[in-house]
């Protein structure tokens, strides 16, 4: 019986939003976490490396798009791959978790990669819902147009459900935030780790079942929490899409300190922002 390969799994914190309040991260105003306490909010891309493969998960956003939307690009997400001695042409597969502006901003930067997206995601961001300002707000028309161009170039693979990209790397639908959001399951030296992306923006969203306010379908978002937990080998094996703790809990890559190693055990325990101290302060 062949063993499942194990990969390096790396994360780059490339952007942030300053001045955000905790209440902006929770759907319901009476949630104990929904306070006016300042809350950091970060943006990530991920790299899966090993077995002769270099796989990138999501592509971040451009600086001008960030400025327009009140966010800051700390590092160019594609140029930062050079820290790992990765050139864009080295990337064999590009996995796009969903088509929101902060995850799909540099799709054209990987000229030889096979790009993977759920078919339902492309259908949504090119469909009738985009007639309305609210559902199209998290999308950039240019990013969607690039995805269509990749489709015409026969470099875009559209999945209908779970798929194995290479042995030990899988995609699984986890709709709710968007209709076609997919999470990425990676086998590492510490077991199966799931890049939850925006199925859970923060660990607290998942662990306390407190939904993030930007969503397509509430019940599906809550069901997605179960999905990612079942796919992962433990609570610390689920990596949320925007939690600042991701950049501080895991060890840095030697010689590339902007990147952290998610295939290693975390160095510090998870800090629950909805601690008893916070709850008491909110109640009082």
Per-residue pLDDT of 175-225, as tens digits, reads 999 999 999 999 999 999 999 999 999 999 999 999 999 999 999 999 999
pLDDT tens, position by position, 83-120: 999 999 999 999 999 999 999 999 999 999 999 999 99
Q: Within 13 A of 162's CA, how many CA atoms are on the CB side?
A: 9
Determine the Cα–Cα distance for residues 121 and 100; give it in Å rounded to an integer.
10
Question: Encoding tokens for residue 175?
Answer: 């709709």
How is residue 261 written in tokens?
């190693």
In total, how many domains does the chain have?
A: 1
CATH number for the domain spanning 84: value is 3.60.15
Kindly state whether residue 221 falls inside one of the protein's structural domains. Answer: no
Residue 50, beta-bridge partner list: 53
Residue 180: inside a domain = no
Query: pLDDT band at residue 64, thresholds of 50, 70 and 90?
Result: very high
Question: 107 lies in a domain?
Answer: yes
- What is the C-alpha to C-alpha distance for residues 36 and 21, in angstroms, rounded to an integer? 5
Whether the Cβ atoms of residue 250 and residue 262 lie closer than 8 Å to each other: yes
Q: Which domain holds residue 245?
A: 8-164+241-283
Mean pLDDT across the chain: 95
**Domain membership flag for residue 137:** yes
Query: What's the rounded Cα separation, in Å, for the pair 22 and 273?
Result: 9
Say if 212 falls within a structural domain.
no
184 in a domain, yes or no?
A: no
Q: Would you say how long the chain is, in residues?
A: 284
Token pair of 211 as six digits = 């939904």
Res 54 pLDDT > 90: yes
For residue 265, is it within any domain? yes
Is 94 a domain residue?
A: yes
Residue 1 pLDDT grade (very low, low, confident, very high; cuts 50, 70, 90): low
Coil, strand or helix at 158: strand
């Amino acid at each position: 019986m062949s063993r499942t390969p194990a990969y390096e799994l790396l994360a780059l914190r490339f952007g942030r939003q300053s001045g955000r309040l905790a209440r902006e991260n929770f759907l319901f105003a009476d949630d104990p976490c929904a306070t006016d306490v300042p809350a950091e909010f970060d943006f990530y891309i991920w790299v899966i490396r090993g077995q002769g493969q270099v796989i990138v998960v999501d592509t971040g956003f451009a600086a001008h798009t960030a400025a327009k939307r009140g966010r800051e690009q700390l590092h160019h997400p594609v140029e930062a791959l050079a820290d790992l001695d990765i050139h864009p042409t080295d990337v064999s597969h590009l996995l796009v978790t969903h088509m929101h502006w902060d995850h799909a901003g540099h799709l054209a930067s990987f000229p030889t990669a096979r790009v993977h997206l759920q078919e339902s995601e492309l259908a949504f961001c090119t469909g009738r819902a985009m007639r309305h300002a609210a559902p199209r707000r998290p999308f950039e028309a240019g990013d969607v147009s690039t995805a269509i161009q990749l489709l015409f170039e026969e470099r875009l693979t559209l999945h209908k459900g779970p798929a194995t990209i290479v042995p030990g790397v899988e995609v699984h639908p986890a709709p709710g935030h968007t209709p076609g959001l997919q999470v990425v399951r990676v086998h590492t030296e510490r077991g199966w780790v799931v890049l939850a992306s925006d199925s859970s923006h923060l660990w607290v969203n998942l662990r306390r079942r407190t939904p993030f306010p930007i969503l397509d379908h509430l019940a599906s978002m809550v069901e997605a929490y179960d999905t990612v937990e079942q796919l992962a080998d433990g609570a610390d094996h689920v990596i949320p899409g925007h939690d600042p703790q991701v950049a501080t809990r895991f060890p840095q890559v030697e010689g590339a300190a902007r990147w952290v190693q998610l295939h290693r055990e975390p160095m510090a325990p998870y800090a629950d922002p909805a601690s008893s101290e916070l709850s008491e302060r909110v109640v009082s």
